[in-house]
Amino acid sequence: MSGFRPIRLGVNVDHVATVRNARGGQHPDPLQAAEIAIAAGADGITAHLREDRRHIRDDDIARLKEHLRKPLNLEMAGTEDMAAIAITTRPHAACLVPERREERTTEGGLDVVTHRHELADVVTALGKANIRVSLFIAPDERQIEGAVALGAPVIEIHTGAWCDALAAGETARAAAEFTRIAAGAEFGSRLGLEVHAGHGLDYSTAETIAALPSVVELNIGHFLIGEAIAIGLGAAVEQMLAAMRRGRVMAKAAS
Ligand code: PXP
């Protein structure tokens, strides 16, 4: 058992902001969701400040940074503009991801080999500001070596292709993807990187990834926010009915 370090959970609150933004206003609040996640045992909070601000906004990042008692991991494109925001906000960590406006979520890993020149300045500037840099990449040896060459201390392995293959019932592809993830995690760890994983994880896939000794952090968002509806909607409806009954009873008493 000696090779197993504790494994942390970072909860991604982006989709709390997605729901809030569907109406405007302040509800539901990503900071409140973050505090609930932390009270339930989450080790940190992740939020992706996308270029188009489709969910998390600049003021969410500022409030998360100001109020959270646990580390904030800012997901961001590896651009100068985003680096400037990170350096001003000083999250605990920044995870650099590829970003295309037309995608629904982060669809692939960052190509740290092709984009090494653009990324080098951002990785260095964030590191100098004491922000722990992570690179979101596919479990590919060239990419992992590229992360080492850039001087990033952490990689986050993209688990999306594996999760997609499982969801599609493509057993052989899923097995091959999982082998890549396991080998990539081991390779990264041997090269001295801290290895995280994320994207598309649910209870079952998180359990499987947690069995890999080199992986020390999972970042999970969409499934957890969906589960908050599945597990939490009943309690919210009960509270609403109680409020309605109180209103009726008070009005009756006053009449
Ligand atoms: N890690 C990274 C780098 C991501 O971009 C995302 C999606 O925002 C996640 C983890 C979480 O993925 P999911 O929302 O599918 O759990």
What number is the average pLDDT over the span 151-171? 98
The pLDDT of residue 101 is above 70? no
Confidence of residue 3 (pLDDT cuts 50, 70, 90): confident
Q: Is 139 helix (H, G, I), strand (E, B) or coil?
A: coil
Locate the ligand 1 atom nearest the alpha carbon of residue 10 and give its number.
Answer: 10
Mean pLDDT of the chain: 96
- Nearest residue (by CA) to ligand 1, atom 9, is 199
Res. 69 pLDDT band, cuts 50 70 90: very high
Are 140 and 132 within 8 A, CB to CB? no
Contact between residue 219 and residue 209 where contact means Cβ atoms under 8 Å apart: no
| Tens-place pLDDT, residues 220-255 | 999 999 999 999 999 999 999 999 999 999 999 999
From 154, 120, 118, 161, select the one nearest 138 (Cα to Cα): 161
Question: In ligand 1, which atom is closest to the CA atom of 222?
Answer: 14
pLDDT at position 102 over 80: no
Q: Which residues line ligand 1 (CB under 6 A)?
A: 12, 14, 48, 75, 95, 97, 105-106, 136, 156, 198-201, 219-223
Q: How confident is the model at residue 106 (pLDDT cuts 50, 70, 90)?
A: low
The answer to whether residue 1 is domain-embedded is: no
Mean pLDDT, residues 84-111 taken together:
88
**Band of residue 39 on the pLDDT scale cut at 50, 70, 90:** very high
Give the pLDDT of residue 4. Answer: 85
Which helix (H) or strand (E) segment holds residue 246: the answer is helix 222-254
220: CA distance to ligand 1 center in Å?
Answer: 6
Q: Per the domain annotation, does 2 fall within a domain?
A: no
Residue 160 CA: which ligand 1 atom is closest? 15
User: Is residue 227 in a domain?
Assistant: yes
Spatial separation of the C-alpha atoms in residues 143 and 92, rounded to whole Å: 24
> For residue 99, what pLDDT is reported?
86
State how many domains the chain has. 1
Residue appearing with tokens 């890999």: 212
CATH number for the domain harbouring residue 212? 3.20.20.70
| Beta carbons of 133 and 152 less than 8 angstroms apart | yes
pTM equals 0.95
Q: Is residue 144 part of a domain?
A: yes
Confidence check: pLDDT of 13 > 80:
yes
Tell me how far the alpha carbon of residue 210 is from its chain's centroid.
Answer: 16
What gap in Å lies between CA 103 and CA 116, rounded to an integer? Answer: 23
* β pairing state of 132-137 and 154-158: parallel
Q: Is 100 a domain residue?
A: yes
Query: Helix 203-210 to helix 160-167 angle, to the nearest 10 degrees?
Result: 130
Domain interval for residue 108: 8-254
Residues 6+ apart with CB under 8 A from 118: 78
Which of 175, 141, 176 shows the shortest CA–CA distance to 157?
141
Question: Is the Cβ–Cβ distance between 123 and 151 less than 8 Å?
Answer: yes
Pocket test for ligand 1, best of 54, 106, 134, 195 (most atoms within 8 A of CB): 106
Residue 1 has pLDDT above 60, yes or no: no
Closest among 244, 251, 249, 199 to 224, alpha carbons compared:
199
Mean pLDDT of the region 87-99 = 96
Q: How many Å apart are CA 70 and CA 109, to the nearest integer?
A: 26
Distance 118 CA to ligand 1 centre (A): 23
**Cα gap 123→35, rounded to integer Å:** 29
Residues marked active site are found at: 48, 75, 199
For the cut 60, the answer to whether the pLDDT of residue 215 exceeds it is: yes
- In the chain, how many H helices and how many E strands? 10, 8
